[in-house]
Every structure is written in structure tokens, then in C-alpha cells.
Amino acid sequence: MTLFTDRLQHTFFDQFREQGDMHFSPVMPSRLDDPVIVSSNQQLAEQLGIDPAELNQPEMLELMSGNFPVTNIKPIALVYSGHQFGVWAGQLGDGRAMTLGELPVGNDATLWDIQLKGAGPTPYSRFADGRAVLRSSIREYLCSEAMHGLGVATTRALCLIDSKTQVYREEVEPGATVCRVAQSHIRFGSFEHFHYRNQPEAVKALADYVIERHFPESVNDENRYLKMFENTVLKTAKMIAQWQSVGFAHGVMNTDNMSILGDTLDYGPFGFLDNYNPDFICNHSDTNGRYSFKNQPSVGLWNLNALATSLTTLLSNKELIGALKQYEPELLSQFRHIMAGKIGLEEYQPEDESLINQLLELMQTNNVDYTIFFRSLCEFSNNNQTVRDQFLDREGFDSWAEKYLQRLAQQHSTDAQRHGKMLASNPKYILRNYMAQAAIELAYQGDYSEVQLLLEVLQSPFDEHPQAEKYAGLPPDWAEAISVSCSS
């Protein structure tokens, strides 16, 4: 077998097996039929210390398609519960994901979870087949890398496998697997599961594991649980500020889809804004708009409150409330800093709040494309205001632009210097739904070239990509008809 498998460790498995495996269940994957590599992420492989050539070896294809009976790998599926659309859903768990092990990376041997998604049923599949379809797998594979390219905290994907296995959803679709890589797959719902089962010792054991693995400097600190929770609060606030700044809507912010480390987790019915619309709902299943774009910051706090409830056997109410009060100031601070950079300000000032809000209101009322506008704004100067052509209300934009120019005049940088910094803050490319759909339709025909093209573009979305210029403009009219739901 490959060097990749030789390096896999089983720290989590060994630590919790002594407690009767209550945190996970041993599983065995079901092999895909006639598997083929759609794409392998060479950039991520190198960062993980994996020889990119290894990804294309027959042994790796077998492993990633769920066929490894002769290896020492013994996969597990994690158990968790959660609140879904604000309602307690009880036990959930890895219904179509299996953790293969933990890969030590770098001089400090930092552990990264290696997980196979779509490899068949687990005890938590709840009568489902445990499979993933090619359509949703392409979306997750590309979006996790797109988010990383944008600088957003996220899980990532190492490779994507297609097959001849038939999977039944609304219609018959090809089965696929994604190898997902994350610092951790522990979720808010992991703690909720044991709290609501009245198993405080299991809550403590899980918290101890998170601290030992991710915050070893705090292992002997009497405030270690508080520091862990505060880190979750602050990292979640930063993550959601990042979402809002790039126009990303997650679509299904259930507590079982929230990472204890504040990484974007579980890409299902996501969507990026086209026109700036705070009321944007990317999930067709979200009939009440609970997870609309504008609601994401408040839902983040709601979910953190749910996590806090599950930690009441470790922390006092005063400690939990004190940590939760850090959420809103951190989110606002992060968002303001990012948005100031997007409009070319060297440092956010309190009076910039009005300038940014007025711009967003103008963009909303004029149906201005979020990503294209901010990329165009990089060229703005006293002598170049062509970006105004994106607004029907030219007078409204001119009024804002006058205030903007006055604010820019307070800085010491030149237009050229500001231009360069803004290009590094405003992506030219995001993963719009129609782009993913184009790659999906070609992949159904056995042509994976568009998946690879988009992967390369989205990994460096601030750069110019002449071969993908078609994806830098406004989406086609037919893009509005694309609908994604929880099954996507």
C-alpha cells in the first residue's frame, strides 16, 4: 500500500475505544463499481506532505473508492446529534462519512482527519444508502477549495472519485466519493449528543480530547474548558464574518454542521451571491428563510448558545455568558476590517460604518453584482469612475462616490498602491452555481476537464485566468433556474 496509508494514525479511535466506543462505531466501506479519478488536489497533497504522484496510483484509487480490505485501516463513523432548522433532531451521526485516520503533518506533526464521504452505509445512515452522488460531490469538492482560496476557514478535499455505481435519489445518478480533510470533524452536535443523553463524563472526555489535540498548551490549565469555548466563539464569529464579506451562504447551518474549531463544514445547498441581496435564500428546502444570507450572523450565535447549553456540566453560566458576549463584537470587528480592505481603506474608522452601509444599500436597490462590483472598484479613482455604470441610480452612486473620494484623500497611499491591495482583497472568481452545474453536466458525459479547470481557478481566485474569463462576468439568465436543496 502507499506511504499515505502508512502515515495514518488512530489517536481518536484508540482514546475512545476504552470507553466502549460510545463516541463512534467501527464501519466498513462498500466499494464503488468501476471507479475513476475525477480530480486530485495536488496543491493540498503537497501541503499534507503527500507526493502528488501518489494520488494517481492504483492503490490510492482503490482506497478512495472504498476498497481496502487487506490494509490495517479500520474506519469509524462518529456519532453526534443536533438542532436542525432550530428543532432538536436527536441522534444523527456520520450517515455517509467514514474517518480513515489522522495524518500527521509538518515538523510539529499536526494531525489532520482523513475522511471518505459517500462510501456506503453506517449505523447512523437511518435507512439511507450512505452514498454520495457525483453532482453533490463535485459541488463540495470545488466549494471547499474555493473557500480556502478566498481565505475562509474551511475543511478541504483531497480527491474526487466517479463510478458506475447507481445511486437512487429523485432519479438514478452515478455514485461518487470525496476524500475530505479537516483539522477536526468534531461538531457542536457532538457535545449536544452526550449532554442530552445525560452523559457528562462523555462530554468531558470529548472536551479533553479537543483540548489535548488542538490546544496542548492548555491541558493543565484550570480554565482549559473556558478557553476552548472562547476559541469556538471567536473562530465562529470570524468565519461568519468571512462568509458575509465574500457573499457566501451556507444554506443549512444546523448545529451538527458547525465545527468546534470554527471551520466551514458540510457543503450542501450553498450559494454565493450574484446580485447583492441580504434576503438571499440558497436552500430550496429552507421555506421559512431561517438560513438566509442576512440571518447567518444571528444563527451563528443561536448555535453557540446551543453548544453552551451542552457545556453546562463543565462551565458556569457566568463563564458561558461571558464567552458568548464576545461573539458580536468579534464578528463586527472582523467584518468591518475586511470590508474596509475591500474598498481600499488602510484602516477602519468608526465613520466608515456609514460609508460601507450606504454602499451596500445602493448595491441592493440597484441589483448590483456583489463580486463584479468590488473587483471593478479596484480601478476606481478620481479620473476613472466607470464602475458607476453598474448602477441605475447614477446620482445615488455619485453622491456616495464623492464621500468615498474624500475618505480616500485622507490616506497616504497612491491610487496604484491602493489598486494592488484591493485586487488582493476582491476576488475575480467565486463558485457560482451555474459554474458548478456546467462542470457537473460535462462530468456526467465522462469529461472532467471543467472540474479541473475550476479547481485551478478557484484555488487562486484573485489572479487572472485567461482560460476561464467566461466565468468572470455576469451569470447567464438560465442560472436563475438552478435550485439546490438539502439533497444537493
pLDDT 10s digits, 289-347: 999 999 999 999 999 999 999 999 999 999 999 999 999 999 999 999 999 999 999 99
Domain range for 359 is: 345-423
Model pTM score: 0.95
Tell me the three cell numbers of residue 265: 463544514
Q: Which of 17-21, 216-220, 383-387, 395-399 has the lowest mean pLDDT?
A: 17-21
User: Per the domain annotation, does 263 fall within a domain?
Assistant: no
Say what percent of the chain tops pLDDT 70.
Answer: 97
From the list 94, 162, 256, 274, the catalytic residue is 256
| Separation CA 268–CA 89 (nearest Å) | 18
Are 277 and 167 within 8 A, CB to CB? no
Q: Looking at 423, 448, 481, which one is the last position of a domain?
A: 423
Name the helix (H) or strand (E) containing 376.
Answer: helix 370-377
User: Per the domain annotation, does 151 fall within a domain?
Assistant: yes
| Separation CA 227–CA 171 (nearest Å) | 48
| Separation CA 51–CA 31 (nearest Å) | 24
pLDDT the model gives residue 486? 63
- Bridge partners, 114 (sequence order): 101, 181
| Separation CA 319–CA 460 (nearest Å) | 41
Kindly report, residue by residue over 247-293, the tens digit of the pLDDT: 999 999 999 999 999 999 999 899 999 999 999 999 999 999 999 99
Kindly report, residue by residue over 43-96, the tens digit of the pLDDT: 999 999 999 888 888 989 999 999 876 667 889 999 999 999 999 999 999 999
User: Per the domain annotation, does 276 fall within a domain?
Assistant: no
User: Per the domain annotation, does 129 fall within a domain?
Assistant: yes
| Separation CA 386–CA 319 (nearest Å) | 52
472 confidence band (pLDDT: 50, 70, 90): very high
* pLDDT > 70? residue 19: no
Does the annotation count 256 as an active-site position?
Answer: yes
* pLDDT > 80? residue 389: yes
* pLDDT > 70? residue 382: yes
| Separation CA 472–CA 9 (nearest Å) | 42
Q: Looking at 423, 439, 456, which one is the last position of a domain?
A: 423
Q: DSSP strand E in 206-335: where?
A: 248-249, 271-272
Kindly report, residue by residue over 240-255, the tens digit of the pLDDT: 999 999 999 999 999 9
User: Per the domain annotation, does 428 fall within a domain?
Assistant: no
- Bridge partners, 249 (sequence order): 271
Count: domains in the chain: 2
pLDDT the model gives residue 22? 82
Q: Looking at 423, 442, 472, which one is the last position of a domain?
A: 423
Are 158 and 41 within 8 A, CB to CB? yes
pLDDT the model gives residue 17? 66
User: Per the domain annotation, does 102 fall within a domain?
Assistant: yes
Q: What is the residue type of 431?
A: L
Is 389 strand, coil or helix?
helix
pLDDT the model gives residue 109? 87
* pLDDT > 90? residue 196: yes
Residue 194: which residues within 8 A CB-CB, separation 6 or more?
22, 200, 202, 203, 206, 310
Is 369 strand, coil or helix?
strand
User: Per the domain annotation, does 97 fall within a domain?
Assistant: yes
Residue 311: which residues within 8 A CB-CB, separation 6 or more?
191, 195, 203, 207, 225, 229, 320
User: Per the domain annotation, does 319 fall within a domain?
Assistant: no
pLDDT the model gives residue 20? 56
222 confidence band (pLDDT: 50, 70, 90): very high
Q: What does the radius of gyration of the chain's CA atoms come to, in whole angstroms?
A: 23
